[in-house]
Structure 1
Amino acid sequence: MPDPIASNKPWQEVAASLQAHRDATIAAVRTPLPPLPSSIPRNTMGLAAQLLTGDEVAITETAPEALLSQLSAGKLSSTAVTSAFLRRAALAQAATNCITELLPERALARAQELDAHLVLKGTPVGPLHGLPISVKEHVTMGGGLKTNAGFCAWAEHEGPNALILNYLWDAGAVFYARTTQPQTLMHLETSNNIYGASVNPFNTALTCGGSSGGEGALVGFRGSCLGIGTDIGGSIRSPAANQGLWGLRPSAHRLPNTGTTSTMMGEEQIVPVIGPISTSLEGVKVFTKTLIDQRPWLKQPDLIPIGWRDDVQWLKKNDKGAKKLKIGILSDDGVVRPHPPVLRAINEVVDKLKGVDGVEIVEWKPYKHDLAWDVIARLYFCDAGREELQAMEASGEPPRPLTKFIIHENSHVPKQAYTAPEIWKFTRDRDSYRTQYAEHWNSTGGADGSDMVDVILCPVGPGAAPPLDQSKYWGYTSQWNLLDYPALVFPVRCTPPHLVLPICI
């Protein structure tokens, strides 16, 4: 846990200073944006066509895999692509309040270096050559940059690059934007006392999700095509869903996550993970494969040493030898029934899948998802929220509404920190539930278990993006954090479903 700021400044003054810094970094983007409309519409997605050049719109609305193809072939320069995303990110900030700082000087220097390398050597630096990637702010970035993680008292904290940034840098990435997260990092929305609330670019009266909500809003606005988020209860999947994006929550200990800044560092009951939010599935794939191909377990030894696999040998075969995929449909977790638009989206996907050769659709019966929340909610704040409360008290900042909800109004948070035997007991409850759920999954394969479900399709949440301060049901995402199953969000119109696998990704 970082030391608080070494001053007696009120939290309001700290917030004003960080906002001024953010605004200065946006003002440093060249060419400056033209004047914004006097009234920004609730749906901000039309602003780019009004205020950016045609080339900038075209670049920023191109999928990451297409950009990478053009960048590696020299058909687009990294300088041009980075400049376009810097300007669209600046506009995204005006529309959604999603940026903590832009990095125009260092990003363009990096882009020019990569362009020069391609001209000189004739080959790209790596699989991410020249691609701008945005970064959630609590993923620590070196070179003197600060990392507040949503707390005013941490405004002066800094450290070296998080390990994941070093791998992405070696692969040719350009870091150009840092994005907002909520106070405590434990909201399915994004608001803190430094920057206020980040909102949804499709409807600014609604939340962009959280805790990687700045990433969600930026990528949703197309101010980024690929960004880094983190997830302990839905923090990648919620923003991806709310903006109609692709988002991957990998298994724990799969991608390098050392070097982030947060409270409760070192807790092992519910392990946070790091992963991508992207405008395309190929963006998710290239991000994940690029990291795994560099064997990050050699530098972070707790990572699972399994290389990238393109094959699908785990899929069963039908009696004709063709691959077969058995999908369980979980439309309702038995705790909170989804709204009609969510159920409609699930049904539309199911109708499409029924016509796909080699796909079998079955109903998935949820197994004690109410118990799952009881188990995971007890494990989120084993110290009774002490570190979060201390971080807020250090500057005198007040708790945000969803901080009050998850710490003060959560009956599962103890009044005093658990003792070691209590933590052990609740951890055994976690492992017992995981075992029971595995047995439930195995039972879908019949007596011999040979034909069990391969993947579950389910909602990301009970509704579309909610109004601000109302994201209070975590069950559709935290369920899979408790089980530590990988989960991928993908868009279906404006209501994305959720794919969950019982294997390591």
Structure 2
Amino acid sequence: MTVVPQQKPSWQESVRQAQAIRDRSIEKVDATVLPGTNTARVIDVPRQHLSQTDQAITESSAEALVASIAARKLTATAVTNAFLRRAAIAHKLTNCVYELLPERAITRAKELDHYFAKHGKPSGPLHGLPISIKAHVGIKGRDLSAGFVGWLDRTSPDDANIVKILLDAGAVVYARTTEPQGLMMLETCSNITGTTTNPHNTALTPGGSSGGESALQALHGSPLGIGSDIGGSIRSPAANCGLYGLKPSTGRLPPVGGSAYCRGCETILGTLGPISPTLGGVEIFMKTIIESRPWVNNSMVLPIPWRDQENYIHQDGKNLTVGVMWTDGVVTPAPAVTRALNEVVERLKLAKGVDVIEWKAYQQKEALEILTRLYAPDGGKAFAKHVESSGEPFNPLTAWTLRDTPGIEELSHQGVWDWTGKREMFRYAYLQEWNSVAPEMDVIICPAFPTPAPLHGTSRYWGYTSLFNLLDYPALVFPVTKVDPERDAKDITYTPKNEFDSWAHEHYDPVKQVGAPVSLQIVAKRLEEEKLLQAFKEIKEKIGLPFVDCLA
């Protein structure tokens, strides 16, 4: 008997099957057909299709929801159903959902409500809180494509470590969010899910690679979510959509159970981290994960407890000292970004207990050379292999990132050692510069991207975020204001300094980017997440950030 080998489906057919799974998950939650909108701004649309009760629930912060459920003002089931409905609507507006998990989520919420009724207390610090998850973070029984069509048949055998910790704390996992091809761009576009758009202006990108998270949260379809960051993939989406996003240092959160083409390559390590509409959401996420003592069962996590009770800022009565990096010296920030930074600095200078100093960018060109080699030490061959395995086409931005950027080359073993050695020496030299030039400096505030949320297909420069992946410093993105075409007019007399600078200058258009959030980044030394959050909370309170409601 002759056995005829089963023909592998075309990449287009694989995509149709994946999209059908997503579409069915959304139809189970909400069958509303949204009318076409004449505006690129869709932030307010979900309110038109939700009850007042669902609006109130979904527009509450993560910390308020946990408190309300603990006080029996809300049930986990009511909260879960509200966020499922809003997430379905958010997807129809921005294409931000990889799939919803309604059966799993509602079953879980009912179990939590039963537990509360039986025991008279919450099951954990996140009891009943819905949490969304970037799709490459493992969920038992679901695919782990990481944005590759050829990986759609890969299934996660278990929940990722970080998901298990959140579930043990009482969370409800209800949505998986979109990500780009291979996770490697500051936008969110793949041949599996298509393009995710920014709800502030659908002509703009919500960022990447955690752009599904940012679009969903900007529409209040999630109070808290898991992103990941190897070059800016938490901070770019948070910045573009007016959210808070924290990239921790590696070793603070458990990475086991996710999917990425470069897993096992340690030249530049990625990290998981929180994205939330509120700073409190970021704090409750970090505190919950680290207080579970994940290092007991995971040797990849450093045994450092959550140190939020210690005062890291005003030891010996000193002021909070903030360094300001206006530019990285390679790409000049657009007027909107410079205005936001200037407004923050001017108010900080008037605040009591705060000192402001200048911080000049340190050897940024050398940092970019190291990053270019270490993001693709194989010359991009592995990435290309995974793209080509299904026959799907390269996205122009992933082609740029891992194939076409000047300086990408396949390194020999000696070359990998040499460039990794340069990475370590750069980290050493940067810390020496900090300690010798500004030993009193607690944190640095700087741009998160050269422009506000860019037009689709134009996010080429990662330097402001990837620098801190190279250094492995914790960095938090925070909203400040919004683009104003009059105040943020383009400087038509500006002469760009290089190809990257020219690209950013050419693609800045405050008229097309009107209303987009303008965000900044605050950075501390390696493993100083608690100090970073303490410093930012003080800054936020003293100067009243954000200056404009970036989610309104």
| TM-score (norm: length of structure 1) | 0.94
1:91 Cα deviation (Å)?
0.6
Query: For 1:280-429, what aligned pairs fall within 5 Å after superposition?
Result: 280-317=278-315, 321-414=316-409, 416=410, 418-429=411-422
Match of 1:484 in 2: 472
Amino acid at match of 2:421: R
| 1:443 shift after superposition | 1.7
**C-alpha contact 1:215 1:227 (8 A) present in aligned 2:** yes
Instruction: Kindly indicate whether residue 23 of structure 2 is the aligned counterpart of residue 23 of structure 1.
Output: yes
Question: Compared with structure 1, are the counterparts of its residues 184 and 34 closer, same or farther at alpha carbon in structure 2 (3 Å cutoff)?
Answer: closer
- Deviation for aligned residue 1:348: 1.1
Q: Secondary structure at the match of 1:495?
A: strand
In the other structure, the counterpart of 2:142 is 145
| Alpha-carbon distance in 2 for matches of 1:47, 1:313 | 43
Deviation at 1:280, TM superposition (A): 0.7
Secondary structure of the residue that 2:74 maps to in structure 1? coil
Q: State the SS of the aligned residue for 1:43.
A: coil
For 2:462 and 2:91, the matched residues in 1 are separated by 27
Q: Distance in 1 between matches of 2:364 and 2:86?
A: 41
1:144-183 aligned within 5 A? 144-159=141-156, 160-183=158-181
Contact 1:233-1:474 at 8 Å conserved across structures: yes
C-alpha distance in 1 between matches for 2:354 and 2:36: 52
Q: Does the Cα contact within 8 Å between 1:127 and 1:290 map onto a contact in 2? A: yes
Partner of 2:457: 469
CA distance in 2, matches of 1:355, 1:80: 45
Question: Counterpart of 1:498 in 2: which secondary structure?
Answer: strand
Alignment partners' CA distance in 2, 1:158 and 1:139: 11
Compute the TM-score of the two structures, normalised by the length of structure 2: 0.87
Q: Which SS does the other structure have where 2:454 is aligned? A: coil
2:518 to 481, 495, 498: 495
Alpha-carbon offset, residue 254 of structure 1 = 0.9
Instruction: Kindly state the Cα deviation for residue 480 of structure 1 after the two structures are TM-superposed.
Output: 0.3
Shift in alpha-carbon separation, 1:170–1:40, aligned structure 2, 3 A: farther
Tell me the secondary structure at the aligned position of residue 207 of structure 1: coil
**Number of the residue aligned with 1:3:** none
Aligned Cα root-mean-square deviation (Å): 1.2
Corresponding residue SS for 2:90:
helix
Q: For 2:357 and 2:309, locate their aligned partners in 1 and report how far apart those are by CA, in whole Å.
A: 24
Q: Distance in 2 between matches of 1:112 and 1:266?
A: 39
What is the match of residue 184 of structure 1?
A: 182
Equivalent pair of 1:33/1:51 in contact (CA under 8 Å): no
**2:67 & 2:318 partners in 1: Cα distance?**
30
Q: CA offset at residue 410 of structure 1?
A: 1.3
CA 1:126–1:300 in structure 2 vs 1: closer, same or farther (change >3 Å)? same
Q: Count the aligned residue pairs.
A: 487
Query: What secondary structure, in the 3-state scheme, does the structure 1 residue paired with 2:518 have?
Result: coil
Q: State the Cα distance separating 1:39 from its structure 2 match.
A: 3.2
Deviation at 1:316, TM superposition (A): 4.5
8 Å contact from structure 1 (residues 326, 359) kept in 2: yes
Note the C-alpha offset of 1:49: 1.6
Partner of 1:13: 13
Offset at residue 121 of structure 1 (A): 0.5
C-alpha distance in 2, partners of 1:55/1:351? 41
Q: Distance in 1 between matches of 2:239 and 2:342?
A: 17
Q: Can you give the 5+ residue segments of structure 1 that lack an aligned partner in the other structure?
A: 1-5
2:472·2:526 contact (CA, 8 Å) conserved in 1?
no
Indicate the SS of the match to 1:178.
Answer: strand
- How far residue 33 of structure 1 moved from its aligned partner, in angstroms, is 4.4
Contact 1:322 1:358 in 2 (8 A): no
Aligned partners of 2:310 and 2:345: how far apart in 1? 22
Q: Are 1:78 and 2:76 an aligned pair?
A: yes
Residue pairs, 1:426-441, within 5 angstroms:
426-441=419-434
Q: 2:383 is paired with a residue of what secondary structure?
A: helix
Secondary structure of the equivalent of 1:492?
A: strand
User: Aligned letter for 1:165?
Assistant: V
The question of 1:454 aligning with 2:431 is answered no
Secondary structure of the structure 1 residue equivalent to 2:78 = helix
Counterpart of 1:459, as a letter, is: P
Alpha-carbon distance in 2 for matches of 1:21, 1:95: 18
1:459–1:496 Cα contact (<8 Å) kept: yes
Taking the aligned partners of 2:26 and 2:314, their CA distance within structure 1 comes to 52
User: d(CA) in 1 for partners of 2:7 and 2:190?
Assistant: 20
Distance, in Å, in 2 between the alignment partners of 1:442 and 1:464 is 32
Match 1:92 to one of 80, 83, 90: 90
- 1:403-443 residue CA offsets vs partner (Å, 9 max, x unmatched): 111122112221x3x22211110001001111111111012
Partner secondary structure for residue 453 of structure 1: coil
Are the counterparts in 2 of residues 74 and 118 from structure 1 also a CA contact under 8 Å?
A: no
2:56 to 36, 41, 58: 58
Q: Deviations over 1:185-244 (max 9, x none)?
A: 110001000111111011000001000111111111111010000000000000000000
* Structure-2 change in CA distance of 1:82 and 1:7 (3 Å): farther
* Alignment-mate amino acid for residue 337 of structure 1: T
Shift of 1:322: 3.0
Please state how far the C-alpha of 1:330 moved relative to its aligned partner: 0.7
CA contact (8 A) 1:33 1:87 kept: no
Q: Structure 1 segments of 4 or more deviating over 2 A?
A: 32-35, 38-41, 311-317
Distance 1:192 1:40, change over 3 A: farther
Q: CA deviation at 1:304?
A: 1.2
SS in 1 for 2:37: coil
Percent identity reads: 48
